[in-house]
Amino acid sequence: MLDLNFTTEFLIRWAMETGCASFIAVAFAMLFQVPVKYLGFVALGGAVTRCLRTFLFLGCGLEVVVSTFIACSVTSLLFIYIAPKLKVTRVIFTVASIISLIPGMDAYQCLIAMARIIEDAQTELVQEAYLIMHHGMRCFGIMLAISLGIAVPPLFFYRYRFGKS
């Protein structure tokens, strides 16, 4: 059974991550000149994606890779529905919406562990190698989950998009 006992600390963190994710999504969308009238949808997508991943990861106790995949899939499905109604491609929304899920901290910790091995021959090699593998594989898993979460749902909905000639 899921233990959904939310504390005030969890709810505050959840709200802050969701709000920050919407700002990050809009800022990233502006870099790629997404029209202003669509920025609200991008902010909504970023907030939904981060909110869902945080809920699944911290609230339900799922692994971060699984939580990321589910959140990206839901976002992709959401914009498969919304984008045609707005007569734009869904990529305008999905890419900017998932940018807050990029595993920057894991990549950073993996690189720091590699630098320690190269810099200091006296360190505990096994511990540093473990850190490299742990953070590196977690980073790879999250990136793979993001890629598959964005790419797989359209395969089911756009299956008959191009008819036989």
Amino acid at 111: L
Each residue's pLDDT tens digit, 78-124: 999 999 899 998 888 999 999 888 888 888 888 888 887 777 766 57
pLDDT score of 78: 92
pLDDT score of 29: 93
pLDDT score of 5: 62
Would the pLDDT of 160 be above 60? Answer: no
Instruction: Give the model's confidence band at 126: pLDDT under 50 very low, under 70 low, under 90 confident, else very high.
Output: confident
pLDDT score of 165: 45
Each residue's pLDDT tens digit, 5-60: 678 888 888 889 899 999 999 999 999 899 999 999 999 999 999 999 988 988 88
Would the pLDDT of 153 be above 70? Answer: yes
- Top pLDDT among 33 and 130 is at 33
pLDDT score of 148: 92
CA angle 13, 8, 21 (to 5 degrees): 20
- Top pLDDT among 86 and 161 is at 86
